[in-house]
Amino acid sequence: LKSSWLSGLRALAGEPLAMNATKRIQNEVANMEADAVPGIRAFPSPKDLFRWTAHIDGPEGSPYEGGRFVLDVNLPLRYPLLPPLVRFKTPIFHPNVNESGDICLDIFKAAWSPALSLQKVLLSVSSLLADPNFADPLNLEAADLFDSDRKRYLAKCKRMTQQLAMTERTLAPGRPKAKAGRPKAKARLTSQARPKAKVKAKAKPKARPKTHVRAKAQAKSKAAAKAKASIRTASAKVRAAGKPAARATSSRR
């Protein structure tokens, strides 16, 4: 009874459907890696295979050109029997996308087919950026502005793209980045060169103490010579004074 009860719960939870969806998703991951489409990239979350992140580059010639838009993709357990839930994470001013990021596209409704892959879904979203469907608008402000003042409509699309969808790579493609190490190298050179110049300037007077020491040594030697000479003269005088005294004592005898 317990095993039948658990199997019943698993069936209600849709475990077989989830297993089928997992196989389908794994196949789609392999196909997207083998046949990548320029400007479109999608990858599953490392923790949840049913949650994806997609990047769509703005089509050339559209007001979204140069921007990179991030989308959240949630795949249901009954995928591909049910369509994925795709939503713009990057704000965009578009007649078929509202402020919450929801997309008005027929393949997410009645036109969905299990034969459609996630890559084809993202291709359809990219085509919608290049060619909006004004017959079924979801953002009435964008649709009305397109009808009343197309120039302002295009200007607002471009402005929001530049403010919210531009990345560093798309802002300046191929532009070399300034090397942060150059100013530091200059500072090091100047800081190292200045002390060396000071040391060299101080090194020149080092010869003066040597001559001064030599002069002192010579003066000392001269003084010593004079002292010796004075001692010699003094001793000579003492000897000369003692000789007559010796003669006087001898004569008395």
- According to the model, what pLDDT value does residue 20 have? 85
- According to the model, what pLDDT value does residue 208 have? 54
Instruction: Of 121-130, 156-165, 194-203, 219-228, give the lowest mean pLDDT range.
Output: 194-203
One-letter-per-residue 3-state SS of 217-245: HHHHHHHHHHHHHHHHHHHHHHHHHHHHH
pLDDT band at 179 (very low <50, low <70, confident <90, very high): very low
pLDDT band at 145 (very low <50, low <70, confident <90, very high): very high
Distance between CA atoms of residues 91 and 102, nearest Å: 10
CA dist 198 → 184, 191, 192, 193, 207 (Å): 22, 11, 11, 9, 16
Active site residue 157: no
Annotated catalytic residue: which of 32, 42, 103, 104? 104
Instruction: Of 45-49, 217-221, 227-231, 244-248, give the lowest mean pLDDT range.
Output: 244-248
Q: What is the pLDDT of residues 80-130, one digit of tens each?
A: 999 999 999 999 999 999 999 999 999 999 999 999 999 999 999 999 999
Question: Nearest Cα to 126, choosing from 60, 190, 191?
Answer: 60
pLDDT band at 246 (very low <50, low <70, confident <90, very high): very low
Higher pLDDT, 219 or 122: 122
Q: Select, from the ranges 13-22, 48-57, 200-209, 244-253, the one with the highest average predicted confidence (pLDDT).
A: 48-57
Distance between CA atoms of residues 44 and 6, nearest Å: 30
Instruction: Of 24-33, 36-45, 193-202, 213-222, give the lowest mean pLDDT range.
Output: 193-202
96: left (phi over 0), alpha (psi -120 to 50) or beta: alpha
Instruction: Of 6-15, 157-166, 224-233, 238-247, give the lowest mean pLDDT range.
Output: 6-15
